[in-house]
Each structure stands twice: as structure tokens, then as C-alpha cells.
Structure 1
Amino acid sequence: MKDTRHKALLIIDDVLNKGAFLNEQLAIAKRDMSSSDYHLTVAIATGVVQNKLLLTNVIRKHSSLRLKKIHPMILNILMLSVYQLFFLDGVPDHAVVDEGVKLAKRYGNKGSVGFTNAVLRAIVRDKDAIVASEFYTDDLSLVDRLSIQTSHPVTWVEYFLNDHDVEFVEALLRANNQKPEVCIRVNTNKISREALAKLLATSGFKTEPTQRSAFGLRVPEAAGLFETDLFNKGYFYVQDEASMLVAEKADPPKKVLDMCAAPGGKTIATQLCYPDAQIYSGDVSKNKVERLKSNLKRMGLNSDRVFLGNGEIYNEHFKNRFDLVLLDAPCSGLGLIRRKPEIKFNRTPEDIKGLSKIQSRLLSNAAKYVRINGEILYTTCTMTTEENEAVVEAFLNDNPQFVVMPIEGAMTYKLYPHRDGTDGFSMTKLVRVR
């Protein structure tokens, strides 16, 4: 337990104070930890990052110092301890306080140790009152209450409230803090969805078929799934249901370009849906290209047309060559907060302006690669208007030879975690008519 708390503390510090990515830090930690210690580390580190604003609000009420005056590592220790006090069972309150104080001794001076002890003991005394006051949010404004309770910065709360009603936004923000299920795309070249579900069941994995995609399975408890022979032999690829749908919404193509292809989910799904199509898949870095090739190889799929290329740079060789261009554009990633909670804190609405310029440049190049009657499927793992509808509108103004083809009646097809049980996702189909 002690080593687990310390490992979680270091990960929290790397993510919140040094710009590291949570999933990458957890993957590194997994290499030298037992399964039980690793899962506890995941729970603590993820829980603290997800609930940062809620935890610091409680600390603020019991601290003699302003949060900015508290040493970052001591604040991390307090957040870790407060998270365990309120959200994890199995360890008595006094033990949580004791371990917090020991960590403070490791990273602070005598004053820091006394401060940590005093704050945690005061919070333990007030536990019932804290819960009764909804973590000191009962007398706040709507925006501040949602910000603290769901631990989203005020700027994002206000941002979503500009486009949606309160009930929708609150449900979305709360869903962002829930653990997402693992979703897999079945390799139908090797096995049917039903047969794979049976094989997984014999290995102890319960599954549920995805509702929108005919090729997916949800795995509610996936611990150990990626150590199975079924994974190593390429019987499935991890992919959210929203992303699976891209290939399924395309008209059957003969020649395809996947512009921002790594790590490979859309290329894989497209090869499986349209085995006779020639699919060219590129990305901007050698590491991404190697990862793409590795995933295709594991799935037993063609990697001969994988290439290194920057989608923002026009490629004359691709002019008018493709029936289908897949453009999964770099974006704010707000639809992935369930999986990457640090996005709430390392992205701002201001960042979207720069991203929309990149998206527009990519889309402008994609337009030059499509044949007449061909289509672009423009997708993002976010739900913002600026990165989707606004980018498409500007594109149509500059490219009157394209029209939007509705998907299930929507000009921009959107999925949301709280409503659809998927990652947040947007997709627009653009058809070249002349």
C-alpha cells in the first residue's frame, strides 16, 4: 500500500505539474508492479486527476494557506489523501492521515509535515458536513457548482453551456468522470463477432455486442484482455464504437487515403469492411508509422501502402486519385476526457483556434485528392462547433464542388458519452459533386 501510494503520487505530480500523459505514466508503472498494486495505482492516480478541483476545494476550506502558497508536492499529497478518504474504502481514516504525514516527511520540511497533519485531521473531523454540503458546493453559482462537482475548469463549463442546456451539460460533465468500458472491433477476417464472444467468455471475459456497429463488442471488465492469445493473434483491435462507425458510413470505395492514420483503427476497419479496396495510410512521424504497421501486422492486414507524410503539405501525386479520403483530424480531444482526464486541464478554449486552422489546412488538401463523386469523411474526437461545423462551413465556402451528405439525418453526426455511451465524436461526410 505504501509503495502504491508513493507511485501514484509521483504519477499525479508528473501529470498535473509536468505535463505528462496519465496513460503513458501508468503504462510505465505497470512494468514493475503486481497486478493488484497496479490497479490500485490506476484508481488513485486517475481519481485524483479526474477530481482535482473537487479535492482542492475541500483542502481550501481547511487550509491556513492559499492553494498557490502550498508546495506542489504537498498539495499532491493532500489531494491523494482526501481522495482516499472520500472515494476509496478499505483503509481507516487514521491510516490515511498517517500515510499522508509520512509522505509529507519525505517531501517537505517540519512545517509542511505539521501543516499536512492539521489539514487532514480537520477534514476527517468534518467528513459528514463535507458530504452534506456536497463538498462545499451547496451555496455556489450554477457554473461554479458544476465546475467543482465535476472538476472541469469554469471555462469549459461555460463553453458547453453556450451550446447546450444545463441538464445536458451536467450529464456530459459527470459522464466524463466515469470509467469507460473497453470496446473492441472484431477481426472478421479471422472470426465472427459471435464466435469471438464465446471464446472470450471461456477465458472469463463477459461481453456485450455494440448497438451501432455490427462488428464491435463491449468488455465491461477487461483486466488481462491484452495478455490473451486472442489479442496477440489479432482477433480484435481496441477501438471505441464511435470510431468503428467511420468505415461503416462510407460508400464502398476502390481506392482510399487515410491521411492521419496512426495508430490504425480506421485503416483496420476500412480494410475489414472493404477487403478489395486499395488503402493508403500515412502519418507525420516515424514512430506513428511504425505503430500503424505493427497494428496492421498483428491483425494480419496489408501494410504495404503505409507511408510517412505530413497531411498539411500538399502531395501532387495524390491529386484526384481517391474514392474515399479519411481525415481524422488533430483536435482538442474533449471527447476523450473519460480516458484522458488531464485534457480538462491542459486544453483551453483558446487552443481550439489554432487547431481549427490545422484542420482547415488538412481538409483543403483532402479536397484535392478526391475524385468526382468521391467523398471525404471528416472526423474529430471532440464535439466543439469550432472544430466541426465551423471548419466544414468554411471549407464549403471555399470548395463549392463539395456538398454535405447527411449521416442519419444529421449534417454533422455527433455522439456523446452520457447520451450514447461512446467517446465524444463528430463526423461529417463531404461529397465531391463536380
Structure 2
Amino acid sequence: MNKDVELRKIALETLIQIEKNNAPSHLVIKDVLDKYDYFSKNEKALISTIVKGTIERKIELDYVCDLFSKTPHTKMKLPIRLIIEMGIYQILYMKSYDTLAVNSSVELARKKGFSTLAGFVNAVLRNISKNKDNIKYPEKGEENYLSVKYSMPLNLVKLLVSQYNEDTVEKMLKASLESDFVRIRISEKCSASEKEEIIEDFKKKGAEIMPVNGFDYLFNIKGMGNIGEFKSFMSGKIYIQDVGSYMLVKNVPFGDKILDTCSAPGGKSIFLSERYPNAKITACDISEDKISRIKENIERCKASNIDVKICDATVFNPEFEEAFDVVVADVPCSGLGVIGKKQDIKYRLTDESLESLYELQKNIIDNVSKYVKKGGYLCYSTCTVNKKENEEQIERFLSKNDFEYSVLSFVPENMKERINNGSLSLMQGIDDSDGFFISVLKKRV
């Protein structure tokens, strides 16, 4: 098997595994790339690009497929549908020759035992390649315009358009598809010279590194490869962290005792430890696996004032009742602010699953608020732009509990207009950030 087909076969098998097992794509991709660690950087990048792109653009790819195939994508066998989706993605979005995309797709059909359908795959993809500059997409104003153009399920498009105007939603969706960088936080304990050494190290290894507007220790990075290979990562001097999570921690008030209730993978607790070395921080999450990830990161970053415990944030723990000066609740959410990084999130969000999330968030905030001392603080956050999970949750909570908005202590000048009723709402495509929501509430004495 030639290398071009071999790499695409691995990409196909990865997609099959993700779809059959309903598995989180970012975890499956990581496992596959670890397995083929002996491949070159470019070979691993090709596998990752095809898999991520095929998932990310799925709705558009299936729309295009149905324009050129007499058999709708819903009637195709799984491997054939994925082969065609991969082929269309390469034709529309990758710089490889269309002939390579078509021929490798045909060969994949044969390799997977579908020789009788190889001609069908060939005909569909060649027709698309020949007409790719004249594909008729839905026009602006049509109900499925945003859904097809940005591969966003229609139920989520309708939800967001009901909360924001259509132009704002389009900016957010467009930014999610263009999110091709990672953000890192350099430890504020690093000296100016250490920070410069870290930046130069990324540049030497071929990565682009640019400061995030308004922040001294946050950077956008492209093309860094495996972050685990960097000495600064292994020594705990850098951490993958987005603007929203960074700003959440910067807005957490000081307290002798701080509880981080949904802590995994531990970035918030570690940054809190850095900011408040004299505080006693308790980091909790619901499973052994999540606790293990927290402990690994704490050890790597050498944070010494964090106690880690398994704890279900929806279940009352009498030992915690009014025991903490500050409680941080970065709750499970729809993730609509980070779909550029976790491409498959959007396909899991049915109306029913969203209702379950709203109830879970309500249960968490209602429960962990009991752990806040009088005069203490509850810091609520999500990585979504869905107002039902953000502003509406906070308004419901305040109407039933003896808390009030607290002033956010750290908001860069270019983001102050994002404050509304004491909460901060960041939007991808509008701010230099993923979508994120922060609200700090004070318990009345």
C-alpha cells in the first residue's frame, strides 16, 4: 500500500472508531497519533487534518454529497459515506491534487471490501471535483444557510439566532471553523528573561507565537506539534489555557479556603495556587480518571497547596457546608464556545440533552452555593455562549438565593463592553477568545 493511501486508511479507521463508539474525537485522535508516533510530523498532521476537517465540516460535506449522488448519504454504508466525506473535504479544503483525493478514496473503498462500490465513489468525487467552483449552496436568509455553510446543526443555529442577531451568530460560527491555534499561559512566576526564552524556544521549533491582545502571559500558538516535547511544558512553566479560563481565575477573589468543584484537568486550581500560594485549595471532580489527570498536572506544575478529592458537585457534602471563602464552579456545559477545538460537540447536542444540561447546572450551582461562607464568593463559569446556561442560570439562582453580583476585578479595557449586569460574556469571532461566561456572586452576610 502506498503511503498516501496508508495515511488516509488510518484517517478512515479513526473516523469509523469515533462514529461507531460515539467517542470524543479529540481523545481518539490523540490515541491514534500516539500509536503512530514514529510517523513524520507532516504525516501525522495529514491524518489529524483529514479527521478533524471531515468531522468539523460534516453537514456541508453531506449536503454537497447529496447534490451529486443519486444515493443520499443517509442510505450509504458507514465506510463508504466516510470515504466520500473525506474525499469531498480534501477536494474543497486541502491543497493536495484532486486526482490524489479521488484515487486514494477509490482505493480505500477496495481496501475496505467494497470493490463493487469503487466506481460509485469515483463517479461522485470526480463529478464534485469538476464542478467544485459551481456548487449551489443555500443563500443568506434561507433557513439552512448558516447550518450548511458552517456545518452547525439546525437546532443549535435556531437556538443561537433566538438569542443573538444572525450576523453575530455568523461571526461566531465562522471563527469556530477558523480556530487553528492553541492558547498557552506562561507562568507569572517566570522572570522576563525566562518568558523570552520560552517564546524563543517555540520559534526555534517552527511554531508561530503571538501575544493575546490585552494579556502579558497568554499567547496564541500555531504549528507547535506535540507540546509535551517542550521543556517549558514538562517543567510546569506553561499550561494550555484559554482566555476565558484565565480570566475566571484572575477574577476569583482571595480566600483562605478555596474550593474548585469541577476541577479537571486542573488548570484553574494550578493557576489559583500560583496566584494565592498561602490559600488552601481543594480541587474536586467526579471520577478517578479526572482526579488522576488533576494530580498529574499538579505534579508537573509543582503546585503544593492543592488537596485533591473525588466529589460529585450535585450531591451535598456536609463537611463542606459554609466551609469555604470562595467556591469556583466551572460547570459542565454545551461547549458552544469551544467547538473549534472539539469538533464533534455540536453533533451531540439535541434539544433533550440541552435540557438535561440546564438541570445539571442548576443542581450544581444550587448545591455548591451551600459551601460558601457568609460574605464569601461563588464564581460560576461555562465555555458556552448559550444564554440559557449563562445569564438565565444566574438570574434564576439570584432570584432564589441570598447572593448578589460582585464587581469583576480584572477585565482588560478592550473587553469591558462585554460586561452585562455584573457578568462577563466573551464570544469567539468578536473577542480574541473562545466563547466563555463568568459571573462572580457574593453571599450576603
Give the number of aligned pairs: 426
Amino acid at match of 1:421: D
Q: How does 1:41-80 map to 2 (within 5 A)?
A: 41-80=47-86
Per the alignment, residue 201 of structure 1 pairs with 200
CA distance in 1, matches of 2:396, 2:64: 45
CA drift of 1:320 comes to: 1.4
CA drift of 1:384 comes to: 1.1
For the structure 1 residues 326 and 9, does the alpha-carbon distance in structure 2 shift closer, same or farther, using more than 3 Å as the test? same
CA drift of 1:164 comes to: 0.9
- The question of 1:114 aligning with 2:119 is answered yes
CA distance in 2, matches of 1:48, 1:105: 20
Instruction: Answer whether contact 1:212 1:241 (CA < 8 A) is retained.
Output: no
CA distance in 1, matches of 2:132, 2:220: 37
- The question of 1:162 aligning with 2:167 is answered no
CA drift of 1:198 comes to: 3.0
CA distance in 1, matches of 2:117, 2:305: 56
Amino acid at match of 1:305: D
CA drift of 1:192 comes to: 3.2
Partner SS, residue 377 of structure 1 = strand
Match of 2:323 among 321, 324, 340: 321
For the structure 1 residues 42 and 199, does the alpha-carbon distance in structure 2 shift closer, same or farther, using more than 3 Å as the test? same
CA distance in 2, matches of 1:8, 1:359: 36
Match of 1:14 among 3, 12, 17: 17
CA distance in 2, matches of 1:290, 1:398: 36
Partner SS, residue 275 of structure 1 = coil
CA drift of 1:412 comes to: 2.5
CA drift of 1:109 comes to: 3.5
Match of 2:134 among 123, 129, 132: 129
Match of 2:106 among 101, 107, 116: 101
CA distance in 2, matches of 1:29, 1:193: 38
CA drift of 1:110 comes to: 4.2
- The question of 1:420 aligning with 2:431 is answered yes
Partner SS, residue 325 of structure 2 = strand
Deviation track 1:341-369 (CA, whole Å, cap 9, x = no partner) reads 10111112331211111111111122211
CA distance in 2, matches of 1:312, 1:212: 36
CA distance in 1, matches of 2:96, 2:264: 41
CA distance in 2, matches of 1:382, 1:197: 33
For the structure 1 residues 402 and 304, does the alpha-carbon distance in structure 2 shift closer, same or farther, using more than 3 Å as the test? closer
For the structure 1 residues 174 and 303, does the alpha-carbon distance in structure 2 shift closer, same or farther, using more than 3 Å as the test? same
Partner SS, residue 351 of structure 2 = coil
State TM-score, norm by structure 2: 0.91
Match of 1:87 among 65, 86, 93: 93
CA distance in 1, matches of 2:305, 2:375: 27
CA drift of 1:303 comes to: 6.0
CA distance in 2, matches of 1:306, 1:293: 7
CA drift of 1:10 comes to: 1.4
CA distance in 2, matches of 1:149, 1:387: 26
Instruction: Answer whether contact 2:277 2:305 (CA < 8 A) is retained.
Output: no
Partner SS, residue 328 of structure 2 = strand
Instruction: Answer whether contact 2:384 2:435 (CA < 8 A) is retained.
Output: yes
Partner SS, residue 207 of structure 1 = strand
CA distance in 1, matches of 2:294, 2:264: 5
CA drift of 1:286 comes to: 0.9
Q: How does 1:274-293 map to 2 (within 5 A)?
A: 274-293=276-295
Instruction: Answer whether contact 1:297 1:303 (CA < 8 A) is retained.
Output: no
CA drift of 1:129 comes to: 1.8
What is the percent sequence identity of the aligned residues? Answer: 28
CA distance in 1, matches of 2:191, 2:441: 31
For the structure 1 residues 422 and 125, does the alpha-carbon distance in structure 2 shift closer, same or farther, using more than 3 Å as the test? same
Per the alignment, residue 253 of structure 1 pairs with 255
Per the alignment, residue 397 of structure 2 pairs with 395
For the structure 1 residues 423 and 351, does the alpha-carbon distance in structure 2 shift closer, same or farther, using more than 3 Å as the test? same
CA drift of 1:199 comes to: 3.0
Match of 1:218 among 207, 212, 220: 220
Unaligned runs of 5+ in 2: 409-415
Amino acid at match of 2:404: V
Deviation track 1:92-123 (CA, whole Å, cap 9, x = no partner) reads x2232221111111234344222112211221
For the structure 1 residues 70 and 335, does the alpha-carbon distance in structure 2 shift closer, same or farther, using more than 3 Å as the test? same
CA drift of 1:17 comes to: 4.3
Partner SS, residue 359 of structure 2 = helix
Deviates more, 1:377-386 or 1:113-122: 113-122
CA distance in 2, matches of 1:354, 1:224: 36
CA drift of 1:125 comes to: 2.4
CA drift of 1:52 comes to: 0.7
User: What is the alpha-carbon root mean square deviation over aligned residues?
Assistant: 1.8
Match of 1:350 among 349, 352, 356: 352
Per the alignment, residue 148 of structure 2 pairs with 148
State TM-score, norm by structure 1: 0.93
Instruction: Answer whether contact 1:12 1:45 (CA < 8 A) is retained.
Output: yes
Deviation track 1:218-275 (CA, whole Å, cap 9, x = no partner) reads 2233224320111111111111111011121122222100111110011011111111
CA drift of 1:206 comes to: 4.3
Deviation track 1:383-409 (CA, whole Å, cap 9, x = no partner) reads 11221222212212221x211224354
CA distance in 1, matches of 2:200, 2:143: 45
Per the alignment, residue 188 of structure 1 pairs with 188
Q: How does 1:371-390 map to 2 (within 5 A)?
A: 371-390=373-392
CA distance in 2, matches of 1:184, 1:267: 16
Partner SS, residue 59 of structure 2 = helix
Partner SS, residue 28 of structure 2 = helix
Partner SS, residue 356 of structure 1 = helix
Deviation track 1:286-327 (CA, whole Å, cap 9, x = no partner) reads 111111011011001126511111111111111112111000
Partner SS, residue 281 of structure 2 = strand
CA drift of 1:193 comes to: 5.8
- The question of 1:404 aligning with 2:405 is answered yes
- The question of 1:39 aligning with 2:41 is answered no
